[in-house]
């Protein structure tokens, strides 16, 4: 065989074994799916040997190429690759090394074929390059595959590079392996490289919430992937954005975790919209304070916090005392202004960490956390009371508002939000009762009172059904004649087998529960019957006065009901007088006056009870169609002790009479009081001095055998 033509004298003359081997090699080379060659190192790559594989590879027979018979190998080499091939071989020749080159040739049929050539230079004894020999294989198939891989890769790369979503690969220990430009941009870095080199501790540098990376890893390990994993993250400049991540784990063939890979979306805009919606749903639009929907959440958070740090929380329930009056009389704009100012004052009375909630209307709740000592609360409360009570300037008018505060303490007064709020609320009522502008702390005793109240309410309902009420009557006396001029009906409750119950103990409950409406109707009917009866017995009209509670007064059909009662009992309407307390007026002055007129139309008499204690300003008085003013007994009873009341009594009498009203003094107990009132021209009196409230037989006896008072 002629592997190397430089050794042309390798004519085998040795034994047949060598012959066989050569034969075998020749066969082998001839059958190889490649071109085995030997070229001269010249400008044509003149081939001096080409194996049979030449035909397959180039489309030419070996003889076409040998000594460039038909075409030279240089010519076959694809034009654009020729220089590169020569450079590579030149270099190998210079260095005396093997070479391996991939390039293209042009097949006899015109097609372009990728080949791989591996060879080495051959030198003569003087070390001069003589020829090169080697092997050329068709690698077109592999090249095509590579190309299509490259195409695919570049398609994917283009997606990667141009995606709007961020794409990343991160190592399990929290470093970026690869990110796309979108992610770099999203996080505020100049380039992916910038991000990868600068952001090397994902937990510390990226996530705002501590432990968020661990949660990410935990989630991905539990489910092999995470979806819509939303977090607040830092950008390079320290600002934050909200992102949503979708990611999975990537393993190698043997199941070793390589990295996490996934996508990131900037959801800041959506989040802030969500947050805005949430803010609207959880905050009061007027004051911007959290609203009642937020309260439970906040309170629960505070409870968790208190449990952790083993301290207490105060839940303060705040109600503005005069808000309704101002809102109704001065208009809602002033009311809104007032609420706004109050909400700011309340907020400024507590620390940042405390929560001020507007429950609605003029009710607020403040959560004060971190209380070690219950006495701490009184300081905060004092601040709140003082701050709220300061004059409040709206449209150049000063308004004075106070508040009543009820407080419950966690965990002393309840362990869950609803109980705490309920208890704070009932403590607030206690504060109202105690005269407003003060605070009360819910206590077990208060709770007991509450239970008693519930019991009372229950019994009161039954009392109506079982007809357990009765009326006492307290006569009124005319100063001028000294004769009884009528009587006031005063209710009593006689539960079977128990002591008689005074109205002070149950009227308020009846009022709050609405039972007063039924009870009131019963009182009116019974009193009217009595008056009618006494008229028949004495032959003279007998005026009867009945107390009408605020709630009763606000019943829309009150006038109609009274009309029907008068008809049913056949009592002349001017024999019935309704006593209305000033406090009834607080809620709505216009409505109050309207109702007075509708009652006046029926022909009944009207009296303002407990005059001087309520809120009715004298300015209103002239608009009231009122027949009588009943001076509150407080002014009368303290007459001896407090001579200043003399002037007040005198003024009320002058005022009432000048408006065409009669003035009656109640609670007259002593001769001194009697004399003084008579001396200043008071019209009538009522009081123990003349008679206590009497059961009906007692009244009847007194009226039938009437003797003149003094
Ligand atoms: P009021 O309308 O101011 O009634 C006067 C109260 O003063 C009565 O108490 C009466 O017994 C008491 N009193 C009368 N003279 C004197 C006196 O000289 N000295 C003192 N210290 N007290 C005197 P009473 O009967 O316990 O009634 C208390 C309150 O209960 C009444 O105050 C009234 O607001 C309410 N009330 C009574 N009956 C009814 C009713 O039928 N309906 C409604 N809605 N309320 C009623
Ligand atoms: Ca009365
Ligand atoms: Ca009274």
CATH number, domain with residue 496: 3.20.20.450
Q: Could you give the C-alpha distances from 148 to 46, 106, 142, 151, 561, in angstroms and in order?
A: 35, 21, 10, 5, 97
Structure tokens at 493: 């409750």
Q: Mean pLDDT over residues 250-260, rounded? A: 91
* pLDDT for the residue numbered 707: 63
Last residue of a domain, one of 272, 307, 339: 272
Q: In total, how many domains does the chain have? A: 5
Lowest mean pLDDT among 190-199, 252-261, 371-380: 371-380
List, for residues 455-495, the tens digit of each pLDDT value. Answer: 888 899 999 899 999 999 999 999 999 999 999 999 999 99
Same domain flag for 181 and 86: no
Return the sign of the alpha-carbon dihedral for residues 303, 305, 308, 313.
Answer: negative
Instruction: Tell me whether residue 281 is in a domain.
Output: no
pLDDT (average), residues 682-687: 97
Q: Which atom of ligand 1 is nearest to 668's Cα?
A: 18
Cα of 553 vs centre of ligand 2, distance in Å, is 14
- pLDDT interval class at 615 (50, 70, 90): low
77 with 169, same domain: the answer is: no
Is the same domain home to 583 and 645? yes
Output the pTM of the full model: 0.49
d(CA 644, CA 635): 9
CA of residue 633 to ligand 3 center, whole Å: 7
**Ligand 1 mean position to 435 CA, how many Å?**
20
Instruction: Please tell me the distance from the alpha carbon of residue 444 to that of residue 427, in angstroms, as a whole number.
Output: 11
Residue nearest to atom 37 of ligand 1 (CA): 490
Same-domain pairing of 518 and 394: no
CA atoms of 182 and 188, how far apart (whole Å)? 10
Q: Which atom of ligand 1 is nearest to the CA of 630?
A: 3
Residue 325: pLDDT band by 50, 70, 90 thresholds? confident
CATH of the domain at 400: 3.30.70.270
Of 204, 237, 272, the position where a domain reaches its end is 272
Percent residues over pLDDT 90 in the chain: 67
- Residue ID of nearest Cα to ligand 1 atom 43: 547
Compute the average pLDDT of residues 1-10.
46
Q: What sections of 173-259 are H helices per DSSP?
A: 181-186, 192-198, 202-205, 212-223
- In this structure, is residue 372 part of a structural domain? yes
Distance 644 CA to ligand 1 centre (A): 25
**Among 383, 393, 506, 397, which residue's Cα sits nearest to residue 456?**
506
Residue 313 located in a structural domain: yes
Contacts of 511 (CB under 8 A, 6+ apart): 549, 550, 551
Output the CA 545–ligand 2 centroid distance in Å.
Answer: 8
* Contact assessment for residue 502 and residue 536, using Cβ atoms and an 8 Å cutoff: no
Q: Note whether 540 and 501 are same-domain residues.
A: yes
361, 362, 365, 430: which is closest to 402 by C-alpha? 362
Pick the ligand that lies closest to the CA of residue 613. 3
Closest CA to 136 of 181, 77, 224: 77
Write the residue with the smallest CA distance to atom 20 of ligand 1.
667
Claim to verify: residue 431 and residue 497 sit in the same structural domain: no
Specify the residue with its C-alpha closest to ligand 1, atom 16.
667
Q: What is the pLDDT of residues 537-565, one digit of tens each?
A: 999 999 999 999 999 998 999 999 999 99
Residues 646/651/657/658 CA torsion (nearest 10 deg): 160
pLDDT of res. 8: 46
Task: Please give the full DSSP string across 416-483, using - where no structure is assigned.
Answer: SHHHHHHHHHHHHHHHHHTTSSSEEE--HHHHHHHHHHHHHHHHHHHHHHHT-EEEEEEEEEETTT-S
Please tell me the distance from the alpha carbon of residue 338 to that of residue 361, in angstroms, as a whole number.
11
Looking at 382, 417, 442, which one is the last position of a domain?
Answer: 442
**What's the pLDDT band for 18 if we cut at 50, 70, 90?**
low
CB within 8 A of 98, min separation 6: which ones? 92, 118, 119, 120
Which residues sit with their C-beta closer than 6 Å to ligand 1? 474, 489-491, 502-504, 507, 520, 523, 547, 549, 579, 609-610, 633, 666-669, 686-688, 693
Both tokens of 108, joined, read: 């006899």
Complete edge-to-edge strand list for the sheet that includes strand 166-170: 176-179, 166-170, 257-266, 240-251, 225-234
Residue with tokens 């952001």: 199
Burial 52-73 (b: 16+ CB within 10 A, else e): ebbeebbbbebebbbebeebbb
Number of the ligand 1 atom closest to the C-alpha atom of 472: 25
Please give the distance, rounded to the nearest whole angstrom, from the Cα atom of residue 609 to the centre of ligand 1: 10
pLDDT classification of 709: cutoffs 50, 70, 90? low
Give the closest ligand to the alpha carbon of residue 579.
Answer: 2
Atom of ligand 1 nearest to the CA of 546: 41
Please tell me the distance from the alpha carbon of residue 409 to that of residue 371, in angstroms, as a whole number: 9
User: For ligand 1, what atom is nearest to the CA of residue 549?
Assistant: 44
In a domain, 65, yes or no: yes
The tokens 């819509």 sit on which residue?
228
- 105 has pLDDT over 80: yes
Ligand 1 site-directed mutation target among 520, 547, 699, most atoms within 8 Å of CB: 547
- Residue 393's domain spans which residues? 287-442
Residue nearest to atom 10 of ligand 1 (CA): 693
Question: Which CATH number does the domain housing residue 253 bear?
Answer: 3.30.450.20
Residues 191 and 260 in one domain: yes
Please provide residue 559's backbone torsions phi and psi, each rounded to the nearest 5 degrees.
Answer: -60, -45
pLDDT by residue (tens digit) across 633-655? 999 998 988 888 898 899 999 99
631: nearest Cα among 655, 597, 600:
655
Q: Are 424 and 447 in contact (CB under 8 A)?
A: no
């Amino acid at each position: 065989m002629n592997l190397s033509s430089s050794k042309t004298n390798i004519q085998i003359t040795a034994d047949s074994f060598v012959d066989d081997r050569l034969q075998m090699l020749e066969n082998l080379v001839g059958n190889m799916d490649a071109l085995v060659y030997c070229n001269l190192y010249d400008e044509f790559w003149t081939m001096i040997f080409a194996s049979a594989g030449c035909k397959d590879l180039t489309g030419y027979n070996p003889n076409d190429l040998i000594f460039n018979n038909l075409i030279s190998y240089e010519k076959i080499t694809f034009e654009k690759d020729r220089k590169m091939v020569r450079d590579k071989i030149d270099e190998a020749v210079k260095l005396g090394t093997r070479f391996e080159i991939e390039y293209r040739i042009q097949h006899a049929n015109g097609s372009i074929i990728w080949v791989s050539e591996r060879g080495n230079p051959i030198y003569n004894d003087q070390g001069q390059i003589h020829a090169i020999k080697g092997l050329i294989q068709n690698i077109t198939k592999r090249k095509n595959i590579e190309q299509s891989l490259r195409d695919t890769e570049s398609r994917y790369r283009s997606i990667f590079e141009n995606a709007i979503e961020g794409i990343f690969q991160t190592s399990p220990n929290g470093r970026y392996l690869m990110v796309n430009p979108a992610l770099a941009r999203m996080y505020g870095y100049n380039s992916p490289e910038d991000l990868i080199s600068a952001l090397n501790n994902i937990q510390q540098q990226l996530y705002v919430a501590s432990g968020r990376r661990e949660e990410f890893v935990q989630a991905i390990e539990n489910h092999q992937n995470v979806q819509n994993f939303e977090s607040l993250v830092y950008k390079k400049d320290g600002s934050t954005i909200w992102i949503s991540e979708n990611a999975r784990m990537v393993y190698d063939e043997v199941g070793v975790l390589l990295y996490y890979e996934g996508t990131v979306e900037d959801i800041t805009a959506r989040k802030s919209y969500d947050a805005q919606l949430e803010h609207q749903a959880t905050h009061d639009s007027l004051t911007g304070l959290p609203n009642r929907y937020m309260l439970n959440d906040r309170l629960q958070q505070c409870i968790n916090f208190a449990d952790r740090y083993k301290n207490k929380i105060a839940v303060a329930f705040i109600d503005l005392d005069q808000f309704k009056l101002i809102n109704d009389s001065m208009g809602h704009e002033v009311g809104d202004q007032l609420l706004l100012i109050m909400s700011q004052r309340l907020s400024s009375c507590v620390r940042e960490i405390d929560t001020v909630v507007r429950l609605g209307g003029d009710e607020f709740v403040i959560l004060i956390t971190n209380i070690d000592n219950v006495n701490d609360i009184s300081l905060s409360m004092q601040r709140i009371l003082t701050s709220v009570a300061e004059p409040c300037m709206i449209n150049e008018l000063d308004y004075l508002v106070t508040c009543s505060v009820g407080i419950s303490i966690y965990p002393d007064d309840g362990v869950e939000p609803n109980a705490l709020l309920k208890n704070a609320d009932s403590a607030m009522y206690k504060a109202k009762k105690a005269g407003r502008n003060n605070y009360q702390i819910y206590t077990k005793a208060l709770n007991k009172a509450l239970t008693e109240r519930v019991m009372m309410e229950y019994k009161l309902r039954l009392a109506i059904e079982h007809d357990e009420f009765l009326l006492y009557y307290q006569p009124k006396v005319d100063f001028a004649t000294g004769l009884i001029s009528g009587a006031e009906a005063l209710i009593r409750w006689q539960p079977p087998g128990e002591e008689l119950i005074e109205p002070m103990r149950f009227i308020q409950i009846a009022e709050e529960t609405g039972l007063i409406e039924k009870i009131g109707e019963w009182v009116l009917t019974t009193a009217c019957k009595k008056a009618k009866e006494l008229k028949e017995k004495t032959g003279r009209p007998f005026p009867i006065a009945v107390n009408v509670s605020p709630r009763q007064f606000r019943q829309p059909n009150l006038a109609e009901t009274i009309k029907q009662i008068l008809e049913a009992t056949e009592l002349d309407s001017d024999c019935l007088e309704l006593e209305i307390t000033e406090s009834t007026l607080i809620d709505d002055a216009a409505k109050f006056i309207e109702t007075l007129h509708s009652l006046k139309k029926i022909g009944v008499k009207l009296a303002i009870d407990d005059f001087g204690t309520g809120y009715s300003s004298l300015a209103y008085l002239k608009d009231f169609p009122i027949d009588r003013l009943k001076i509150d007994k407080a002014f009368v009873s303290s007459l001896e002790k407090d001579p200043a009341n003399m002037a007040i009594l005198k003024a009320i009498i002058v005022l009432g009479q000048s408006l065409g009203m009669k003035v009656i003094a109640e609670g007259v107990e002593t001769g001194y009081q009697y004399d003084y009132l008579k001396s200043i021209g008071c019209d009538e009196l009522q009081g123990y001095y003349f008679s206590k409230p009497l059961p009906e037989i007692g009244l009847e006896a007194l009226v039938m055998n009437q003797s003149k008072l003094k």
